[in-house]
Amino acid sequence: MQINAGFDITYQCQQPTPMLLALSVHPSRMPDVTGPHRIWFDPPIGASEYRDDFGNICHRIVAPPGPLRISTQFMVSDPGTHDAVMPQAPQHAIQDLPDDALVFLLGSRYCETDRLTELAWSLFGQTEEGWPRVQAICDYVHKRIEFGYHHADPTRSAFAGHADGRGVCRDFAHLAITLCRCMNIPARYCTGYLGDIGIPPVDAPMDFSAWFEAYLGGHWHTFDARHNTPRIGRILMARGRDATDVALSTIFGPSILAGFNVITEEVA
């Protein structure tokens, strides 16, 4: 299938303001992009591209005073299959994990393993290791947190999300990631596009989505505690320890988000 995707975002700045942007399609999905993939700036400004420590494609800019429109639109070829389910995927002993997976066992800005370890072991210590344990964590988080865009709070951590019992997709991901790490399962945060493909249309504005990946059986596997069901048509943008590493924009100065529109739709 072909998926039409893109965004149109406008920031309003009072002065020249440096920004780091993580708005590109991830290198792993770039071969699936048909035609050009370019981020446009209006007014035109310079942008330098770099790869961060997690392999994401990022851009550095200095936003001028006034409005800055940032946009892109592209097509992606997708197999149209659901997220893979591998119920036999085993959990690794820590000593058997690859070196680059170890950082995804550690606490991070939004994933306070030190505050949730006791809870995690009380809830999941008796569950079957591997895929069933991660799925049990997703089931718990899915029931624990009430989704709502009006619940968004950019400062909310996994611990606070568990206490509040409400949030948006990033809160589901942060809590599930933290509980996985507490149970010695490497887990990393993912952000990208996820359209209403293969499900009844959702009467809500389109947005970027957050999910996570857990390392089981020698591979990273997709899990989504918010939807808690395999989905079609994910387009990965970036991976990291938590939302800090993959923020759409990291802004070094005052600014206002003046416009935000995301497109993700199957092309008939």
Better pLDDT: 140 or 205: 140
Q: What is the pLDDT of residue 203?
A: 80
Enclosing H/E stretch for 49: strand 48-51
Indicate left, alpha or beta for 30 from its phi (over 0: left) and psi (-120 to 50: alpha). Answer: alpha
Q: Is residue 138 part of a domain?
A: yes
Mean pLDDT, residues 157-167: 97
Whether residue 105 is found in the same domain as residue 210: yes
pLDDT score of 210 more than 90: yes
Q: Is residue 85 part of a domain?
A: no
pLDDT score of 20 more than 90: yes
Question: What DSSP string runs through 64-85?
Answer: PSEEEEEEEEEEEE---PBPP-
Q: What is the pLDDT of residue 125?
A: 97
What is the domain count for the chain?
2
Enclosing H/E stretch for 26: none
Q: What is the pLDDT of residue 224?
A: 98
Numbers of helices and strands, H then E, in the chain? 4, 15
Cα dihedral: 92, 96, 98, 102 (round 10): 70
Q: What is the span of the domain harbouring residue 71?
A: 2-79+248-267
Whether residue 213 is found in the same domain as residue 101: yes
pLDDT score of 204 more than 90: no
pLDDT score of 226 more than 90: yes
- Relative to beta strand 146-147, strand 166-167 is parallel
Full-model pTM: 0.96
Whether residue 122 is found in the same domain as residue 209: yes
pLDDT score of 19 more than 90: yes
In tens, the pLDDT along 37-81 reads 999 999 999 999 999 999 999 999 999 999 999 999 999 999 999
Q: Is residue 243 part of a domain?
A: no
Cα distance between residue 219 and residue 241, in whole Å: 17
- Torsions phi, psi for 214 (to 5 deg): -115, 145
Whether residue 48 is found in the same domain as residue 135: no
Whether residue 173 is found in the same domain as residue 115: yes
Query: Which of the four pLDDT bands, split at 50, 70 and 90, describes residue 36?
Result: confident
Mean pLDDT, residues 130-152: 97
- Tell which residue, 135, 98, 111, 115, has the closest CA to residue 188: 111
- Tell which residue, 175, 239, 172, 170, has the closest CA to residue 208: 170
Q: Are 108 and 244 in contact (CB under 8 A)?
A: yes
Whether residue 103 is found in the same domain as residue 221: yes
HSE of 49, CA atoms in CB hemisphere, 13 A: 10
Domain with residue 45: its CATH number is 2.60.40.2250
Beta-carbon contacts of 132 under 8 Å, excluding residues fewer than 6 positions away, are 87
Whether residue 36 is found in the same domain as residue 111: no
The terminus-to-terminus CA distance of the chain in angstroms comes to: 8
Amino acid at 65: P
Q: What is the pLDDT of residue 206?
A: 87
Enclosing H/E stretch for 62: strand 57-63
Whether residue 226 is found in the same domain as residue 138: yes
Instruction: Dig out the tokens for 180 from the structure.
Output: 């996985």
Q: Is residue 240 part of a domain?
A: no
Q: What is the pLDDT of residue 88?
A: 98
pLDDT score of 205 more than 90: no
In tens, the pLDDT along 70-125 reads 999 999 999 999 999 999 999 999 999 999 999 999 999 999 999 999 999 999 99
Whether residue 74 is found in the same domain as residue 19: yes
Whether residue 73 is found in the same domain as residue 126: no
Report angle CA 209, 215, 219 to the nearest 5 degrees.
Answer: 100
Instruction: Dig out the tokens for 89 from the structure.
Output: 């995927």
Q: What is the pLDDT of residue 202?
A: 82
Q: What is the pLDDT of residue 201?
A: 81
Whether residue 225 is found in the same domain as residue 256: no
Q: Is residue 87 part of a domain?
A: no
Q: What is the pLDDT of residue 219?
A: 98
Domain with residue 155: its CATH number is 3.10.620.30
**Packing angle, helices 169-182 and 113-124, rounded to 10:** 70
